Structure 1
Amino acid sequence: MSSRRWKEKQVREPSWMEQALCARVGDPDDWHPTLETPQAVEQVRQICRTCPARIPCLEDVLTRRTPLTGVWAGTTTRDREHLLALVDAAQNTAA
C-alpha cells in the first residue's frame, strides 16, 4: 500500500458519521459553540436526541479520551469529563 493511500485510510471518518445528523443539519459551528452555554447547547442536543448515530458517537468520543470540544452525542465537554471521571473511578474500585 502506498504511503499516500495509507494516510488517506488513516484520516477517514468513522462509519457512524455517515448516519450522523450533525453532518447534514444546521451550521457546523452550532456543534462547536465558543461558549457551551445551556442556550447554545440545547438546540443541538435536541437534534442529537433523535440521531441514529448517537450511541456510536458517544462511544467514539469517550474512547478517544482526547479533549474534543463541542457537542458530541448530546454531551458537552464538561459532561464528557464527568463521564470519564466516573468510568475511571469505577475501574479503580474494581481493580
Structure 2
Amino acid sequence: MTAHIALRAPNWQVHAACRTTDREVDWIDAEPESAAAADCEAICRLCPVRLTCAITALTKDESYGVWGGMDQVDREALRHADTQIAA
C-alpha cells in the first residue's frame, strides 16, 4: 500500500497578498534597503496576514528575504532588541 502525502502551504499563506503579485518580485533575494525590498514591503503593507508572516519568519529564524514587510536587517534588529529586553 502506497501512502500519498499532500504538501500544503500553511492556511495563512492562502490569504497572503504576495500570492497574487507579479512573480518577478524577488522575495527571497531582495537585498535590504534595495528597490526590490521596497517593492516587497509595499505589497506587504496591504497584506491581511502580514503579522502572521512576520512572526513565522521570526520563529523559524529566516535569514533571507522579505517576510511580513521586514527584511533580514529588520528581523535581526528585532531579535537584538528582544535579547536586550530579556537581559
Question: Could you say whether these structures have the same fold, taking a TM-score greater than 0.5 normalized by the shorter chain as the test?
Answer: yes
CA distance in 1, matches of 2:30, 2:37: 10
TM-score, length-scaled by structure 2:
0.80
Equivalent-residue separation in structure 1 for 2:9 and 2:34 (angstroms): 28
Matched length: 86
Determine if contact 2:58/2:75 at 8 Å carries over to the other structure. yes
Residue pair 1:22, 1:28 contacting (<8 A) in 2 also: no
Instruction: Report if the CA contact (8 A) 2:25-2:39 is conserved.
Output: no
Corresponding position of 2:65: 70
Residues 10-35 of structure 1 show CA distances to partners (whole Å, capped at 9, x for unaligned) of x5422110100112211165212353
> Whole-Å Cα distance in 1 between the matches of residues 36 and 30 of structure 2?
9
Structure 1 gaps of 5+ residues are none
Does the aligned pair in 1 maintain the 2:25–2:40 contact within 8 Å?
Answer: no
How do 1:53-92 and structure 2 match up within 5 A?
53-67=49-63, 69-92=64-87
What root-mean-square deviation, in Å, do the aligned CA atoms of Structure 1 and Structure 2 show?
2.1
Answer yes or no: is the 8 Å Cα contact 2:12–2:52 preserved in 1.
yes
> Structure 1's 49 and 43: CA in aligned 2 closer, same or farther, altered over 3 A?
same
**Which runs of 5 or more residues in structure 2 are unaligned?**
none
Please give the residue correspondences for 1:3-18 in structure 2 after superposition, counting only pairs within 5 Å.
5=5, 8=6, 12-18=8-14
Scaled by the length of structure 1, the TM-score of the pair is 0.75
The structure that is helix-richer by fraction is 1
